[in-house]
């Protein structure tokens, strides 16, 4: 198995190759990588891959990691059922 | 309305609960895991004076003290959102919705992955997962394993796995690529290993730690590594790929130069039934982000941390932080930070009786003392980085008050 076939975003099964090609082709930010490839948009909300996406963008000449969090966190930050979201309490 | 809700029942959260409850506050702690104690639960190591530190016993002590003081501890509950109220905070949990005057985030840190070809195979796990399996659940992660990533955490947990009766074939570096960065560089890893040298049981390494320069050390590093507790640490070998049909069967490894380049013709396959990836730790700050905190990127502290001061206040009223969410350090530092946070919160709620300021200043001094005496420095330059962070906190809050 080549390096390029390594999965980066496990939820959406996005490989290193797909992310690299996207950054190289569009010279884009981490957020744009996410919107174009769906990396970081799976059920875990990017908990595992966000730092790798940031790092790849930085390594390939994109904006470097700054004080700003590039892939914003949005609630719910943990997987919850519709019941819980709808106010169903135990 | 509850006085204080704390998210995270690790050393920081329990420490804060104790100091807040000692001053009469009504305190709730929530934790995602089934048991209180946080990362303390995984710890088991021998200090240089020969005394064993058992994190499970430490956690039990803190838990008992908190319960004695009337702290409500709820485990197996996740927090998925936070909202600022006019007076206080609203906490959305998988059980119910809680309102409190003050909120403390003591969520700790999460592990940073290093992707390696084959890392999605069953049998590959983070080093922390192996630690929880062995020390908390008493389940062996496998019979024979390789740890990829040489750092403070991987060496300590390798030893714990060995105590569990698991054979660790070796600890080696990840393959050099776009994502592995310094973790694949023998010189940089030598530097990190030397920060551990005073803990090593081998007098040779302890002695070496005093005079070996990272550069020289990486160049002269023996091809087969040297051993800590009989576990080979191989700074000149790299894991290229994890192999297996349905689960881990082996790792393809190769020798590397002092600069981290693969030496051709040296590849071979080592058979193992599990692999741990040790990519280091980063502050777990997602709740601070949804709350709306300002952030700073501080590599010495492990990544993005919420802007805060030595009183553990964030830039949002009533929201505090303590422990590894403020930067990756030892459990002792986390606990001392928790104590300081609990006292600051008691002061904000006018519950801190006589000599309030003195008590808080003493708690802050204790944090600095504990940091100075820490056995393990996760990164160099923590103290300086913290000083800078605190001064930025006051600069920005001054600016905000002028507007």
Average pLDDT over residues B185-214: 60
B120, A10: Cβ pair inside 8 Å?
Answer: yes
Interface test with B, best of A9, A39, A44, A69 (most B CBs within 10 A): A69
pLDDT confidence of B376, banded at 50, 70, 90? low
Residue A77 touches chain B, beta carbons under 8 Å: yes
Question: Which tops the pLDDT comparison, B385 or B49?
Answer: B385
pLDDT confidence of B221, banded at 50, 70, 90? low
Tell me: the pLDDT tens digits for B63-84? 999 999 999 999 999 999 999 9
* pLDDT greater than 50 at residue B127: yes
Residue carrying the six token digits 């820490």: B374
The interface residues of chain B toward chain A in range 248-307, judged by CB-CB distance below 8 A, are: 282, 286-287, 289-290, 294-297, 303-304
Q: At what angle do helices A16-26 and A30-37 cross, to 10 degrees?
A: 120
Question: Residues, chain B, total?
Answer: 403
The interface residues of chain B toward chain A in range 313-372, judged by CB-CB distance below 8 A, are: none
Task: Record the tokens describing residue B154, joined without a space.
Answer: 């991987």
Domains detected in chain A: 3-65+75-85 (1.10.10)
A56, B179: Cβ pair inside 8 Å?
Answer: yes
Q: Which CATH number fits domain B113-277: 3.90.228.20, 3.40.50.2020, 3.50.50.60, 3.40.47.10?
A: 3.50.50.60
B81, A3: Cβ pair inside 8 Å?
Answer: no
> In the prediction, which pLDDT does B203 show?
44
φ, ψ of residue B24 to 5 degrees: the values are: 90, 5
Could you write out the DSSP letters of every residue in B319-367? EEE-GGGG----HHHHHHHHHHHHHHHHHHTT---TTHHHHHHHHHHHH
> In the prediction, which pLDDT does B234 show?
87
> In the prediction, which pLDDT does B218 show?
64
Nearest to A69 among B94, B241, B295 (CB): B295
Residue A36 touches chain B, beta carbons under 8 Å: no
> In the prediction, which pLDDT does B207 show?
45
User: What is the average pLDDT value for chain B, to the nearest integer?
Assistant: 89
Map out the domains of chain B as residue ranges: 2-110+281-402, 113-277
* pLDDT greater than 50 at residue B225: yes
Per-residue pLDDT of chain A (90 residues; tens, 9 = 90+): 566 889 999 999 999 999 999 999 999 999 999 999 999 999 888 988 999 999 999 999 888 889 988 888 999 999 888 988 887 766
Q: B-chain residues within 8 Å CB-CB of A47?
A: 110, 286
> C-alpha angle B337/B113/B260, rounded to 5°?
110
Is there a common fold for B2-110+281-402 and B113-277?
Answer: yes
Question: Which tops the pLDDT comparison, B98 or A88?
Answer: B98
Q: Which CATH number fits domain B2-110+281-402: 3.50.50.60, 3.40.50.720, 3.30.2130.10, 3.40.605.10?
A: 3.50.50.60
Average pLDDT over residues B320-326: 98
Nearest to A48 among B80, B113, B287 (CB): B113
Share of chain B above pLDDT 90, in %: 70
Nearest residue on chain A to B288, alpha-carbon basis? A73
């Amino acid at each position: 198995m080549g390096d390029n076939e390594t999965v980066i975003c496990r939820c959406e099964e996005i490989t290193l190759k797909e992310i690299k090609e996207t950054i190289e082709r569009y010279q884009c930010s981490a957020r744009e990588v996410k919107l174009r490839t769906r990396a970081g948009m799976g059920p875990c909300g990017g908990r595992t891959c966000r730092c790798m996406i940031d790092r790849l963008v930085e390594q390939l000449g994109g904006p470097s990691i700054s004080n700003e969090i590039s892939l914003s966190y949005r609630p719910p930050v943990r997987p919850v059922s519709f019941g819980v979201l709808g106010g169903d309490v135990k | 309305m509850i006085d204080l809700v704390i998210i995270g029942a690790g050393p920081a959260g329990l420490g804060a609960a104790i100091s807040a409850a000692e001053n009469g506050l009504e305190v709730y702690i929530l934790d995602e895991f089934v048991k209180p104690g946080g990362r303390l639960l995984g710890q088991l190591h021998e200090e240089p004076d020969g005394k064993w530190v058992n994190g499970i016993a430490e956690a039990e002590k803190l838990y008992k003290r908190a319960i004695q003081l009337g702290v409500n501890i709820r485990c197996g509950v996740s927090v998925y959102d936070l909202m600022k109220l006019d007076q206080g905070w609203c906490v959305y949990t998988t059980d119910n919705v809680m309102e409190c005057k003050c909120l403390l985030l003591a969520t700790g840190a999460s592990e940073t992955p290093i992707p390696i070809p084959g890392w999605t195979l069953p049998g590959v796990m983070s080093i922390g997962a192996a630690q929880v399996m062995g020390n908390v659940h008493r389940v062996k992660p496998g019979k024979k394993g390789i740890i990829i990533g040489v750092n403070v955490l991987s060496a300590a947990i390798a030893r714990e796995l060995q105590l569990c009766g698991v054979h660790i074939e070796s600890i080696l570096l990840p393959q050099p690529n776009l994502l592995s960065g310094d973790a694949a560089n023998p010189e940089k890893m030598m530097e990190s290993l030397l920060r551990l040298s005073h803990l090593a049981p081998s007098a040779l390494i302890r002695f070496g730690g005093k005079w070996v320069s990272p550069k020289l050390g990486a160049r002269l590093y023996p091809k087969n590594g040297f051993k800590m507790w009989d576990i080979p640490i191989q700074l000149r070998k790299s894991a290229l790929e994890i192999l297996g049909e349905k689960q881990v069967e082996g790792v393809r490894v190769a020798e590397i130069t002092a600069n981290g380049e693969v030496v051709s013709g040296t590849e071979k396959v080592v058979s193992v039934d599990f692999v741990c990836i040790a990519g280091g730790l980063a502050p777990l700050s997602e709740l601070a982000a949804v709350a709306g905190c300002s952030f700073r990127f501080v590599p010495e502290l492990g990544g993005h941390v919420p802007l805060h001061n030595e009183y553990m206040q964030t830039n949002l009223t009533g929201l505090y932080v303590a422990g590894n969410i403020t930067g990756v350090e030892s459990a002792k530092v986390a606990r001392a930070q928790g104590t300081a946070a609990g006292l600051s919160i008691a002061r904000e709620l006018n519950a801190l009786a006589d000599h309030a300021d003195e008590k808080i200043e003493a708690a802050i001094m204790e944090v600095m003392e504990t940091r100075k005496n820490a056995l393990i420095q996760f990164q160099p330059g923590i103290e300086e980085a913290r000083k800078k962070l605190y001064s930025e906190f006051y600069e920005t809050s001054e600016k905000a008050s002028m507007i």
